[in-house]
Amino acid sequence: MTAKKISIAVIKRLPRYHRYLNDLLENGIKRISSKELSIRMGITASQIRQDLNCFGGFGQQGYGYNVESLYNEIGNILGINKTFYAIIIGAGNMGQALANYVNFEKRGFKIVGIFDSNPEIIGRKIKNLKVTDIEELDDFVINNTVDIAMLCVPYKVTASIADKVGRLGIKGLWNFSPMDLKIPYDVIVENVHLSDSLMVLGYKLNEKFERD
């Protein structure tokens, strides 16, 4: 673990650095300057230097960054070398999309269960997992390591399911329901608001093309 506290704004950019560095590695590129990285990523070089300085700064004047060590270091900070065990609650379209999303496992997130309350879906196989009755959630969590619950349930039951997740002692909650969840437990919640990114796209379209 790094000693220095890194701001969450920087942390939020790290997965992007990590992706770009991975691309570079796969293309056999061994070192890169903050300027080149800047052009590829669309972030200013000074922002990049400032971000990477936060955790020690691996750049060398006139040499740039060693791609592999920077990639590994960012991976360490993000905890990619660790495994997080996750369950999906809600096996509708979004839950199934997450279950089929190949990139999670590569990043250390292993999906170990998928739950639903709909008798028509329970028992169905999604990828290598059988959809389990939500009634069995308590037993499952008691008998297995579960770090993260991915919530893909309808809006109206989100709060009660989140409460259940908190009571069961699951420490991380990744919420896809369009509400900013706050729950009275020691749980870290990341709310995903898909439409936020769509609204940014709408703004950029307006600004550029001035539709009426």
Does 150 count as an annotated binding residue?
Answer: no
120 part of the interface to its own copies, by CB under 8 A: no
Quick check: 82 binds its own copies (CB under 8 A)? yes
18 touching its own copies, by CB under 8 A:
yes
Nearest to its own copies of 60, 127 (CB atom): 127
* 3-state SS assignment for residue 161: helix
- CA 27 to chain CA mean position, Å: 25
Q: What is the 3-state secondary structure (H, E, C) of 52-84?
A: HHCCCCCCECCCEEEHHHHHHHHHHHHCCCCCE
Is residue 7 left, alpha or beta, with left meaning phi > 0 and alpha meaning psi from -120 to 50?
beta
The CB-of-63 to its own copies minimum distance in angstroms stands at: 26
SS3 176: coil
Which residues, 45 to 64, sit near its own copies by CB under 8 A? none
Q: Binding of its own copies at residue 167 (CB under 8 A)?
A: no
**Does 200 contact its own copies by CB under 8 A?**
yes
Q: Report in angstroms how near the CB of residue 189 gets to its own copies at its nearest.
A: 8
Q: Which residues are annotated as a binding site for NAD(+)?
A: 90-95
